[in-house]
Amino acid sequence: MSSTLEHDPRVILERAGLGGFVAEYGRRLRQGDIGQLPVVVGLIVIGTIFELASHHVFLKSFNLVNLTLQMAAGGMISVGIVLVLLLGEIDLSAGIVSGLCAAIMAMLDVSAGIPAPAAVGLGLLAGMAVGTLHGMWTTRFGIPSFVVTLAGLIAWQGALLLVLGKTGTVNLPDPFITALAGTFFTGPAAYACAALFIAYVALGPLVTHRRRRAAGLTVPSQAFVAIRAVAISAFTILAVVVLDADRGVSSGLLFLVGAVIVMDFVLRRVRVGRMIYAIGGNAEAARRAGIPVVRIRILVFVLASLFAAWGGILGASRLLAVNQSAGGGPVLLNAIAAAVIGGTSLFGGRGSMWAALLGTMVIQSISNGMDLLSLSSGIKFMVTGGVLLATVTIDSVLRRSSGAVSRSATTAFLRFLMKAVARIIRS
Express each pLDDT in 217-240 by its tens digit: 777 777 777 888 888 899 999 999
CA–CA gap between residue 344 and residue 306 (Å, rounded): 20
Cβ-proximal residues to 177 (8 Å cutoff; 6+ apart), any chain: 105, 109, 116, 119, 120, 313, 316, 317
Which stretches does DSSP call E strand in 96-193?
A: 169-171, 184-185
Which stretches does DSSP call E strand in 258-370?
A: 321-323
Low-confidence winner among 4-13, 286-295, 321-330, 416-425 (lowest mean pLDDT): 4-13
CA–CA gap between residue 163 and residue 50 (Å, rounded): 40
| Counts for the chain of helices (H) and strands (E), in that order | 20, 4
Low-confidence winner among 122-131, 144-153, 155-164, 345-354 (lowest mean pLDDT): 345-354
Residue-level pLDDT at 132: 96
How does DSSP classify residue 167? G
Q: What are phi and psi of 20, to 5 degrees?
A: -65, -40
- Other C-beta atoms closer than 10 Å to the C-beta of 322 total 32
Residue-level pLDDT at 26: 61
- Other C-beta atoms closer than 10 Å to the C-beta of 216 total 7
Question: To the nearest whole number, what is the mean pLDDT of the chain?
Answer: 83
Residue-level pLDDT at 169: 86
Contact 311, 253 (CB under 8 A): no
Name the strand (E) or helix (H) holding 250: strand 249-250
Cβ-proximal residues to 427 (8 Å cutoff; 6+ apart), any chain: none
Residue 255 lies in a domain: yes
Contact 335, 81 (CB under 8 A): yes
Residue-level pLDDT at 22: 60
Q: At 38, is the pLDDT very low, low, confident or very high (cuts 50, 70, 90)?
A: confident
Nearest to 291 by CA among 278, 304, 308: 278
Residue 390 lies in a domain: yes
User: Residue 185: pLDDT above 70?
Assistant: yes
Residue-level pLDDT at 20: 54
Average pLDDT over residues 357-385: 86
CA–CA gap between residue 310 and residue 121 (Å, rounded): 10
Sign (positive or negative) of CA dihedral 336, 341, 346, 352: negative
Residue 170 lies in a domain: yes
Residue 377 lies in a domain: yes
Nearest to 35 by CA among 424, 393, 350, 388: 350
Residue-level pLDDT at 427: 46
pTM score, two decimals?
0.84
Residue-number span of the structural domain to which 358 is assigned: 34-186+247-401
Q: At 34, is the pLDDT very low, low, confident or very high (cuts 50, 70, 90)?
A: low
Number of domains in the chain: 1
Low-confidence winner among 201-215, 287-301, 395-409 (lowest mean pLDDT): 395-409
Nearest to 422 by CA among 20, 16, 37, 34: 20
User: Residue 157: pLDDT above 80?
Assistant: yes
Average pLDDT over residues 228-257: 92
DSSP helix/strand/coil, 323: strand
Residue 388 lies in a domain: yes
Residue 202 lies in a domain: no
User: Residue 134: pLDDT above 60?
Assistant: yes
Residue 254 lies in a domain: yes
User: Residue 56: pLDDT above 90?
Assistant: no
CA distances to 118, 183, 299, 409 from 405, in Å: 56, 51, 37, 12
Residue 286 lies in a domain: yes
Contact 302, 91 (CB under 8 A): no
Residues facing 341 on adjacent strands: none
Residue-level pLDDT at 198: 92
Residue-level pLDDT at 328: 85
Q: At 178, is the pLDDT very low, low, confident or very high (cuts 50, 70, 90)?
A: very high
CATH number (domain holding residue 350): 1.10.3470
CA–CA gap between residue 426 and residue 198 (Å, rounded): 31
- Neighbour-count burial of 346, counting CB atoms closer than 10 A to its CB (0-12 exposed, 13-18 middle, 19+ buried): middle
Q: Which residue has the higher pLDDT, 65 or 31?
A: 65
Exposed e or buried b per residue across 399-425, where buried means at least 16 C-beta atoms within 10 angstroms of its C-beta: eebeeeebebeebeebeeebeebbeee
Residue-level pLDDT at 27: 61
Low-confidence winner among 118-132, 210-224, 234-248 (lowest mean pLDDT): 210-224
Residue-level pLDDT at 18: 52
